[in-house]
Amino acid sequence: KYTCPGCARRSCGLECVRRHKTTHACDGKRNRAAFVDIREFGDADVVRDYRFLEEVGAEGERAKRWRPTFGDEDVGGDANRKGGRGGGGRRRGRGNGAMSQAQRAMDALKAKCAERGVEVRFMANGMARRRSNTTTHHRKRDELSWRLEWVFHINSERIVRIDEKVEESSALRDAYAAHVKEMTLAVENKASMAPFKLAERDGDVRFDVVMEKFDTPANAKVWIPIDLRDTIASALRGKTVLEFPTFHVVPRTSAEKDGEVVASKQ
């Protein structure tokens, strides 16, 4: 049998490997930053750590020279264009010029989110969550398209699902239902997805969708309930997000545990 370097699950063949990657959102790569007990630390681990640190340093240098690209219709679409007649051509400069363009684009996007009552907090350039943020603002339609992250808590596991771009006028229910349908088809144990099925009546719902409230103690997290019947714009109004929204989907039996509090809807 094959043991996955990423999650250590055992697989019997190629199809089994592909299925486990879909079901458990595993990329099959070893976690290079995982803790290794000093008693198990050997020469090979030293070499791997040294190479890892070299790559981190190289990535930092690339981040300094990073130049963002945006669609012509999105916020920041002209961030890389020269001023002047026709607006044609592109700046060849690197370093501070490219970074200031990225900052202007982020400031513009942040302002559009603020108009809708959403506080967006951006991470430093080069961070994985910063690079993966696909949220944009369409200037002609004056509409945001959000990147959405869904975290399903199933049998003590976290299954992460992503929507690259969803228009703010869309109902959260539609995006949620699509993920549940795909996950139900992918898993062998169909019963594990039963608590996450949508219901016609509120009393029949067996799960909760919540967002983490920012600026609360780590040992006393507060979760804000989300109504899937709302549009994305309505659901996010009055909320704070780190780059893009993350919705946690939990069975009703585990919505409040370990001192974690579900706040009233804002």
- What pLDDT does residue 248 have? 95
Higher pLDDT, 169 or 16: 169
Which pLDDT score, from 0 to 100, does residue 96 have?
56
- Residue-level pLDDT at 136: 94
**Predicted confidence band at 152 (pLDDT cuts at 50, 70, 90)?**
very high
What pLDDT, on a 0 to 100 scale, did the predictor assign at position 48?
81
Which is more confidently placed, 204 or 39? 39
Residue 68 has what pLDDT?
Answer: 54
Weakest mean pLDDT among 71-80, 116-125, 165-174, 202-211: 71-80
Interval 159-183 mean pLDDT = 94
The pLDDT, as a whole number, for residue 75 is: 52
pTM greater than 0.85 (yes/no): no
- In this prediction, residue 144 has a pLDDT band, given cuts at 50, 70 and 90, of very high
Residue 105 has pLDDT above 60, yes or no: yes
Question: What's the rounded Cα separation, in Å, for the pair 122 and 228?
Answer: 25
Across the range 192-215, mean pLDDT stands at: 84
User: Each residue of 65-102: pLDDT tens digit?
Assistant: 665 554 444 553 333 434 444 444 444 444 555 557 77
Average of pLDDT values for 128-146?
93
Mean of the per-residue pLDDT values for the chain?
80
Confidence of residue 202 (pLDDT cuts 50, 70, 90): low
Tell me, what's the pLDDT at 257?
Answer: 43
Please enumerate in sequence order all residues whose Cβ is within 8 A of that of 152, keeping only pairs 6 or more positions apart, or say none: 158, 159, 160, 161, 179, 183, 196, 249
- Mean pLDDT value across residues 4-27: 80
Q: Enumerate residues 6+ apart whose C-beta is below 8 A from 200.
A: none
Cα of first residue to Cα of last residue in the chain, in angstroms, is 50
- pLDDT in the model for residue 44: 78
224 compared with 18, residue with greater pLDDT: 224
Using the structure block, give the residue that is written with the tokens 């909320």: 239
> Using CB atoms within 10 A of its CB, is residue 236 exposed (0-12), middle (13-18) or buried (19+)?
buried
Strands (E), the chain: 2-3, 10-11, 119-121, 136-138, 143-154, 157-167, 207-212, 222-225, 240-242, 246-251, 261-262
